[in-house]
């Protein structure tokens, strides 16, 4: 599974990169054969009333169909990435299940 991490206004250190890699491996590692590319976008911007807001967007490109995309935001960058990686695992599972069921119903209609 190829993982690209892009950071805008975020200090990207090895600890953060390792945390994201580890969390993605746990969340979607079992779907490796179905995934072409995982792109993680991190950004830090001014939120409401000048508070800093961290954003994480994860895009998973599947080999068999389109993309799965999850976004999250909050004050703590590690917490934001943890929530997003957890949610992307469920989203990929749902998409792969949907594709499997649509192929199954397509085959059943041919018979």
pTM of the model: 0.86
Of 32, 88, 99, 36, nearest to 63 (Cα)? 36
Give every CB contact of residue 98 below 8 A, 6+ residues apart in sequence: none
- Output the pLDDT for position 99: 83
- Output the pLDDT for position 100: 81
- Output the pLDDT for position 50: 65
- Output the pLDDT for position 110: 53
In the predicted model, what is the mean pLDDT of the chain?
89
Beta bridge partners of 36: none
pLDDT average, residue stretch 37-55: 85
**Confidence band, pLDDT 50/70/90 cuts, at residue 28:** very high
20 pLDDT above the threshold of 80: yes
């Amino acid at each position: 599974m190829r993982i690209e991490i892009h950071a805008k206004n975020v200090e990207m250190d090895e600890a953060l990169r390792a945390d994201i890699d580890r969390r993605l491996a746990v969340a979607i590692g079992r779907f490796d054969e179905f995934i072409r590319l995982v792109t993680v976008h991190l950004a830090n911007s001014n939120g409401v009333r000048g508070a800093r807001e961290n954003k994480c967007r994860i895009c998973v490109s599947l080999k068999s169909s389109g993309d799965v995309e999850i976004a999250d935001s909050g004050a703590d960058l590690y917490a934001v990435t943890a929530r997003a990686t957890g949610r992307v695992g469920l989203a990929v599972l749902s998409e792969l299940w949907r594709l499997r069921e649509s192929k199954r119903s397509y085959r059943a209609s041919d018979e």
